[in-house]
Homo-oligomer: A and B are copies of this chain.
């Protein structure tokens, strides 16, 4: 037991940060889970996460980034707050609040990294139903998945699952894997032009047929939102 800051009268809930890291592995949308080494839920798969280190983390974003880097060796190119989950029963140690983040990363970026630890593993979305996840992490993942799917309908979010340089076909496939339906190549091209987020590289890449134009994200661009969703 340890003395913590007081708020004057109430017990504080235990506060933690968790992250749902998405990537596309073998053409399947997947999340990174870690094998819990300690109780509670020892031996269960869980989201990467932990406590804020007030001496290191400038804010909770830093905590999420730090925890993801510990497990993957890299900082994900996209990270955003999802929402918090709280209650007396979600953790057997007592009343708790966890702030969930979601992030996307290109799989080749993670797999090429030598620091990858082996207590972490990618699970494709469909296989999660059979898995007995720690805490309410099943719910958190569902919530994150929903957010990623929605946001992929009106933004270029899925680019963050790709390598730095990519083709239209690769982006199209990433979008289709994430939202679970096919889209029109033409519609995607129109959005790429309208968004002004990408630059054409001089390079072209072989793909079995005509060479494909290579694109990459411009420096310091924000994810822009379109006025309409891809139809459902």
- Identify the A interface with B (CB < 8 A): 1-7, 9-16, 51-54, 58-60, 81, 83-88, 93-95, 97, 99, 227-229, 231-232
Contact = CB atoms under 8 A, between A and B. Distances in A.
Given A52-B95, A58-B88, A84-B84, A6 B13 contact: no
Contacts of A88: 54, 58
Given A99-B97, A231-B227, A10 B84 contact: no
Given A2-B6, A6-B2, A12-B51, A84 B99 contact: yes
DSSP majority for the A interface? loop
Contacts of A86: 52, 59-60
Contacts of A13: 5, 15, 52, 54
B12 A1 contact: no
Contacts of A87: 58-59
A14 B10 contact: no
24 contacts: A2-B11, A3-B4, A5-B12, A5-B14, A7-B51, A10-B52, A10-B53, A10-B54, A12-B12, A12-B51, A13-B15, A13-B52, A15-B15, A52-B86, A52-B97, A54-B88, A58-B87, A59-B86, A60-B84, A81-B84, A99-B99, A227-B228, A228-B228, A228-B229
Complex copy number for this chain: 2
A60 to B, nearest CB: 4
A59 B53 CA distance: 24
Contact of A3 (B3, B51, B81, B94): B3
B15 A6 contact: no
Contact of A10 (B51, B81, B93, B232): B51
B15 A11 contact: no
A202 to B, nearest CB: 36
Contacts of A53: 10
A156 B196 CA distance: 31
Nearest to A91: B5
